Amino acid sequence: MNKSGNFTFVKTAFLTLFSIPLLVFAQPDIDHWESIALDGTIWEYLIPDEQPAGDWMTADFDDESWLDGPSGFGYADGDDNTNVPATSSIYMRYDFTLDDLSEIEMAIFDMDYDDGFAAFLNGVEIARENLGNPGDVIDWDAGLGNDHEAQIYQGGYPASFVLLDYETLLIEGENILAVEVHNVGLGSSDLTARPFLHAGYNVEEQTFSGP
């Protein structure tokens, strides 16, 4: 179990909506699953040439000057919907609206990435891999000590995180999911940024896409 700030998540390699979500069988109140964010979801994104403002991952940040495009993001190597130029990092924001939190029984964040990432929900860090320690601010042009290959395109599974504190992380109204992905170095031949956010609903009505 990992803890950072005021949230708690469980990272698991087997729990993913790309296979059979095993914890569903322990959640009798879940009627169905929906994907709030998945491949093809439109994100605002920034290819930086300087360090972004410290509040870039919060709802109050103005991203009007950012570009927009569908996930995933990368170097046109077969698993990307939005092609980006060679970069040390990419910053992404996606806003979505929830009407009634009582309809949600569980939330899972999945991330397929190359080479390191950190993710935030309404300004609170919810997941991180190969990018320092929880809470670390990484320079936009910093190199990484290790690389990490994306998994989905080669038949593998993304990193998966069960958001145990989803009831305090999510809000009724507008929410912001923000992700930063860093390359091992500017000369790297690939980059992948494919975030997913899933929710288990206890009602029959569907709001978002199926997983």
pLDDT of residue 20: 40
The contacts found for 1-7 with CB under 8 angstroms, 24 or more apart, are: 2/134, 3/134, 4/125, 4/128, 4/134, 4/135, 5/124, 5/125, 5/134, 5/135, 6/124, 6/165, 6/168, 7/124, 7/125, 7/126, 7/163, 7/164, 7/165, 7/168, 7/169
Residue-wise pLDDT for 79-129, tens only, equals: 899 999 999 999 999 999 999 999 999 999 999 999 999 999 999 999 999
> Do 29 and 202 touch, CB atoms closer than 8 A?
yes
Q: Is 61 left (phi over 0), alpha (psi -120 to 50) or beta?
A: beta
Residue 43: the pLDDT is 98
**Residue 186, token pair as written in the block:** 């500017």
Residue by residue, DSSP assigns 30-87 as --EEEEEE-TT-EEEEE--SSPPPTTTTSTT---TTSEEEESPEESSSSS-SEE--S-
Identify the DSSP state of 140: T
pLDDT tens, 167-188? 999 999 999 999 999 999 998 9
Q: Which helix (H) or strand (E) holds 167?
A: helix 166-169
pLDDT band at 145 (very low <50, low <70, confident <90, very high): very high
Q: What is the pLDDT of residue 3?
A: 34
Tell me the pLDDT tens digit for each residue of 26-51.
566 999 999 999 999 999 999 999 99
Other Cβ atoms less than 10 A from the Cβ of 89: the count is 25
Model confidence at 13, pLDDT cuts 50, 70, 90, reads: very low
Q: Is pLDDT at 148 greater than 90 in this prediction?
A: yes
Whose tokens are 């170097």? That residue is 75
